[in-house]
Structure 1
Amino acid sequence: MTFRLFHLPQKPLLDALRCMENPELIAISMLSSKCRETVKSLNLSLKRFVVTVNRKMSIYMIDSVDSRLRLSVSGIEMPGFRLNGLRVMTIGGSNDWNFEEIDIRKWIENLMSTYHCPEITSIEIQRTDLGELEDEYSFNLVCHAVEGIKVRKLNLDKPMNPDGIAGKYAQNALELFSKRTKYLSLSCNPYQREDPVKIQKVLMQNFNGISSFGPFSIDDILMTNSRTLRLNSSKTGVKDLNRFIKLWMAGSNPRLRFFSVFDREAEAETLLPKLLRGVPHITINKWRTYKTIVMGDEIIHVHNNRAIKIRRKDGREATILYITLPDDNYIIYIIAISMLSSKCREIVKSLNFSLKKFDVTVNRNMSIHMESSVYSRLALRVSGVQMPGFRLNGLQVFAIGSSNDWKFEEIDIRKWIENLMSTYHCPEITSIEIQRTDLGELEDDYSLKLFSKYAKFLTFDCNPYQGDDPVKIQKTLMQNFDGVKSRVRLSIDDILMTNSRTLNMHNSNFGVKDLNRFIKHWMAGSNPRLEFLDIFSKEAEADTALAKLLKGIKYRKTEKLRVNEVIVMGRNIQIKWSRAIEIRRKDGKEATIDYIPLTT
């Protein structure tokens, strides 16, 4: 089969491919080995490549910029596990894509090769509840598709009854993948009713991290050879933990760097004396924050004012922290108690609870999403707010397992939020998310008016001033944000008025000439705080884009491949520069331009 596109010279061909979307590139890469190598030369890369298996198999891809793509496999038939169709889901919608039959293993290998993936980020095995035939089929499908490929993390998702078919399915997945993965996440112990030696054979492997809802015994834990171990449920009591500490000090679990165990049965008043009985230790009564990286990418911050130092026989030291983990109902009671008086609030504050997230969502109601520094998640949906005074008299409380209505005497909503933040030592609201209400003109632009002056980061999906004077949106953009992310069509004049450190534009309405104008203005001194600009535009002509972009600009080319880390919207991202262009502004500040193929 001849394909006219590939009759083009190499440079115009690559420019044309850079304008294509992910599904098109995937399809082209399957035509021949030459096509695959050509697409590979674009140096596309992924942050995540996740394989999910439930009733179907799907691939979830996140590229090195911000695009998200989910490919749901359909039409797989025995024997041979050949597929003839995909459901392609992007940010903007979904489409069905049909093609000639191809072996699913070959298709996954081609994807990984095209996107330079050395490993599958995660394989997520989800419970199917379809009976023995389907579980066996799904397992055989996974074996055929990814056996032998390097896997970073195995995730046995959703509770699986150890006595049922799903439990057998989980056991098979463990036996197949556990020896080839760095991280293991378990929703249960699939060998719970069988010989404990079986799960211990899994745990003794050299994982970098294990996270599990267990339950595991102290003997299981002593057999673990992982660097980090986090158990949300266990069979261990204080005496068992005391035994573990003594054995660790004597030399057990030599690779262990972090161990977290969650147990609701421990009595706080008598726990520490029992835990430390016969253990040489030093108590440090000093408030500090402890930071740990768990499961490769999750950073845990623990705030505590009391730490216990112990030392093992090889000289290595460890710190023991005893953290109060209230259940969600207890949190509700604590919130209620803290509202009784200023004295009650100070007593509750002295418990030193802390939060990782305190998010406020506004749509037709207002809701608060709270996530503690360890595990608890709680959503509080405000109800009964009446004008005037914005006083509320009820909450709908969503915990992990249930929801309840909570009624009380009227209170000003501002006072209620301030009390929550004070009780949980929150210096700031993590995020305010204003969702479309479709309730009329009143709601349209009030979010920008109300909150933009107080936020470090701004994300918006529409321009509420689109039909008005453009000066109104520019007054928002010129504020000193740390990051702005927009999917709306803004003009080059809007961008020139932006005073943010980072700016992500996913739907711009200007071409290469406008970008050339922006670069010249930046080199002359505009946008002095700007450190990172990411513009996504499908309208640029790839074959002449660079020539037009750099017209009248002094620059220096570098062909060296390099990777830079940039903090965007509060998160670290890695950017691979393949053909960088270096420019310098009049104050000596340098910038790097790269024309990256942004596919959706």
Structure 2
Amino acid sequence: MEAGDRHPFPLLRLSDDPLQLVVLLMRRFDQFALSLVSKRSKEVVKSIGLSSRITIKVDEEEVSIRIHKRITENIRCSFADDQVAINNLPSEMVKPTVTSTRGRHTFTRSRKGYRFEDWLSHCLEVFHQSKVTTVFFERLIPHFKSFRKTFESFTILKIVREYTDEEARDLLKLFIPVKKLYLDCNPFTNKDENNKLLQEVFIQNFNHLDLNWRSSLAIDNLLIMNSKVITISSEKLSEHVLNRFIKHWMAGSNPRLEYLELSSDDDRIINEEAVLKGVNYQKMPSTHRRYLENPPFINNPDYAYIDGGYDVRRADGTTASVLFNEYVYFVLVVLN
């Protein structure tokens, strides 16, 4: 036998215990590939307790199921548009391309009885997830209403392009409710700040509403938002709007709000006196640090505590602190 010769190893002839030990030493991509071979191999891979977030992304080129190891994407299962509507093709015609991180390894295959929803269910089961984490839309696909039926609950909806008002309404109606809604732009053709369709979105009970668009935001829209956490990056927000919001909050508006963060591309320095004009507040010294228990904005560890701030109180005794800094235009944190 010459050096470098390779012979196949009868992996699946091993009994369960040694097979499990071998699988533990495999790369994540190979573990996933093995889970597709047979029912037994799937159960062995499941038995080693892998855990990965599962997301769905609809981008300009494909629809994909994405498997994430820690914070990075590790495996991508890519489907053509006509393969993701429910019960539209025989399973042998559903052949996703499975690719590892950075495209180093890839294979394409079908699996008897597996349509898109079955591939997704397989991923969730193998990686011990009860539901999809995020559904990400860069475009609408044909038969997207049928596509919605291929999975049940998920946590985060991200929309990053504009649609016609009818498309946006249908999309949001189908995919809401969710815990977090991320809009990278105003998805509606009608950009009027008083667009009723947009207002229907704002009044939803999200845990987190994240808006990132280059247009102004009216005070009336801020006041109808019913989310616990609101983060907004907009073209500009005036001191007058912020002043009115604080006063409305003190009078009882936005009762679910726990954290509001507003940022802007405007490089000018905010006039804190104008924001706080006519507001009854207590200024806390910058050396006064307060730690927050179970902060709703845990993804931003810088705000697990606050230094200083301007404390304001509403009629029911609820206290919030208003903060300004060079990175974030305006922050309001509810303290109790």
Q: TM-score range by the shorter chain?
A: 0.7 to 0.9
Deviation at 1:198, TM superposition (A): 2.3
CA distance in 2, matches of 1:242, 1:5: 68
Is the contact between residue 69 and residue 91 of structure 1 (CA under 8 Å) also seen in structure 2?
Answer: no
1:503-514 matches, cutoff 5 A? none
CA distance in 1, matches of 2:307, 2:48: 52
Aligned length: 307
2:170 aligns with 172
1:323-338 matches, cutoff 5 A? 323-324=325-326
Residue number among 121, 134, 141 corresponding to 2:133 in the alignment? 121
1:204 aligns with 203
CA distance in 1, matches of 2:24, 2:286: 55
Which letter does structure 1 place at the counterpart of 2:282?
I
Change (3 A) 1:323 1:226: same
Is the contact between residue 59 and residue 70 of structure 1 (CA under 8 Å) also seen in structure 2?
Answer: yes
CA distance in 2, matches of 1:262, 1:295: 15
CA distance in 2, matches of 1:66, 1:268: 36
Please list every run of 5 or more consecutive structure 1 residues that lacks an aligned counterpart in the other structure. Answer: 128-134, 325-372, 376-600
Q: In structure 2, the residue corresponding to 1:36 is in which secondary structure?
A: helix
1:77-96 matches, cutoff 5 A? 77=83, 80=88, 83-90=94-101, 93-96=104-107
Deviations 1:458-511 (A, max 9, x none): xxxxxxxxxxxxxxxxxxxxxxxxxxxxxxxxxxxxxxxxxxxxxxxxxxxxxx
Is the contact between residue 229 and residue 259 of structure 1 (CA under 8 Å) also seen in structure 2?
Answer: yes
Which letter does structure 1 place at the counterpart of 2:49?
N
CA distance in 1, matches of 2:130, 2:70: 14
1:443-462 matches, cutoff 5 A? none
Q: In structure 2, the residue corresponding to 1:249 is in which secondary structure?
A: helix
Deviations 1:396-451 (A, max 9, x none): xxxxxxxxxxxxxxxxxxxxxxxxxxxxxxxxxxxxxxxxxxxxxxxxxxxxxxxx
CA distance in 2, matches of 1:309, 1:283: 6
Please list every run of 5 or more consecutive structure 2 residues that lacks an aligned counterpart in the other structure. Answer: 1-9, 330-336
Deviation at 1:113, TM superposition (A): 0.8
Which letter does structure 2 place at the counterpart of 1:203?
F
1:155 aligns with 158
Deviation at 1:249, TM superposition (A): 1.1
Are residue 12 (structure 1) and residue 18 (structure 2) matched? yes
1:512 aligns with none
Residue number among 104, 111, 119 corresponding to 1:107 in the alignment? 119
Deviation at 1:34, TM superposition (A): 5.1
Which segment is superposed worse, 135-144 or 55-64?
Answer: 135-144
Are residue 190 (structure 1) and residue 187 (structure 2) matched? yes
Change (3 A) 1:265 1:234: closer
1:97 aligns with 108
Is the contact between residue 168 and residue 190 of structure 1 (CA under 8 Å) also seen in structure 2?
Answer: no
2:56 aligns with 51
Q: In structure 2, the residue corresponding to 1:122 is in which secondary structure?
A: strand
**TM-score, length basis structure 2:** 0.76
CA distance in 1, matches of 2:27, 2:81: 23
Which letter does structure 2 place at the counterpart of 1:98?
R
Q: In structure 1, the residue corresponding to 2:49 is in which secondary structure?
A: coil
Deviation at 1:84, TM superposition (A): 0.9
Change (3 A) 1:125 1:67: closer
Q: In structure 1, the residue corresponding to 2:176 is in which secondary structure?
A: helix
Q: Which has the higher contact order (CA 8 A, sep 6+)?
A: 2
CA distance in 2, matches of 1:313, 1:155: 36
Rg (Cα) greater in structure? 1
CA distance in 1, matches of 2:205, 2:255: 11
2:261 aligns with 260
Is the contact between residue 184 and residue 212 of structure 2 (CA under 8 Å) also seen in structure 1?
Answer: yes
Which letter does structure 2 place at the counterpart of 1:38?
V
2:283 aligns with 283
Work out the percentage of aligned pairs sharing the same amino acid: 25
Deviation at 1:308, TM superposition (A): 1.3
Residue number among 63, 74, 79 corresponding to 1:73 in the alignment? 79
Is the contact between residue 204 and residue 225 of structure 2 (CA under 8 Å) also seen in structure 1?
Answer: yes
Is the contact between residue 261 and residue 328 of structure 2 (CA under 8 Å) also seen in structure 1?
Answer: no
Is the contact between residue 286 and residue 308 of structure 2 (CA under 8 Å) also seen in structure 1?
Answer: yes
Query: Aligned Cα RMSD in Å?
Result: 3.6
Which letter does structure 1 place at the counterpart of 2:245?
F
2:274 aligns with 274
Change (3 A) 1:10 1:201: same
Deviation at 1:8, TM superposition (A): 4.3
Q: In structure 2, the residue corresponding to 1:232 is in which secondary structure?
A: strand
CA distance in 2, matches of 1:267, 1:65: 34
Change (3 A) 1:290 1:154: farther
1:72-471 matches, cutoff 5 A? 72-74=78-80, 76-77=82-83, 80=88, 83-90=94-101, 93-100=104-111, 102-127=114-139, 135-137=140-142, 139-140=144-145, 142-146=147-151, 148=152, 150-157=153-160, 160-161=161-162, 164-165=163-164, 169-179=167-177, 181-191=178-188, 193=190, 196-214=195-213, 215=215, 216-233=217-234, 236-263=237-264, 268=269, 271-287=271-287, 297-301=299-303, 307-324=309-326, 373-374=327-328
Change (3 A) 1:287 1:9: same
Deviation at 1:230, TM superposition (A): 1.0
CA distance in 1, matches of 2:233, 2:80: 36
Q: In structure 1, the residue corresponding to 2:315 is in which secondary structure?
A: coil
Is the contact between residue 297 and residue 303 of structure 2 (CA under 8 Å) also seen in structure 1?
Answer: no
Change (3 A) 1:236 1:192: farther
Deviations 1:337-392 (A, max 9, x none): xxxxxxxxxxxxxxxxxxxxxxxxxxxxxxxxxxxx449xxxxxxxxxxxxxxxxx
CA distance in 1, matches of 2:289, 2:249: 24
CA distance in 2, matches of 1:280, 1:175: 41
Deviation at 1:36, TM superposition (A): 3.5
CA distance in 2, matches of 1:289, 1:264: 28
Is the contact between residue 300 and residue 374 of structure 1 (CA under 8 Å) also seen in structure 2?
Answer: no
Which letter does structure 1 place at the counterpart of 2:123?
L
Is the contact between residue 171 and residue 190 of structure 1 (CA under 8 Å) also seen in structure 2?
Answer: no
Which segment is superposed worse, 194-203 or 237-246?
Answer: 194-203
Is the contact between residue 304 and residue 323 of structure 1 (CA under 8 Å) also seen in structure 2?
Answer: no
CA distance in 2, matches of 1:19, 1:156: 38
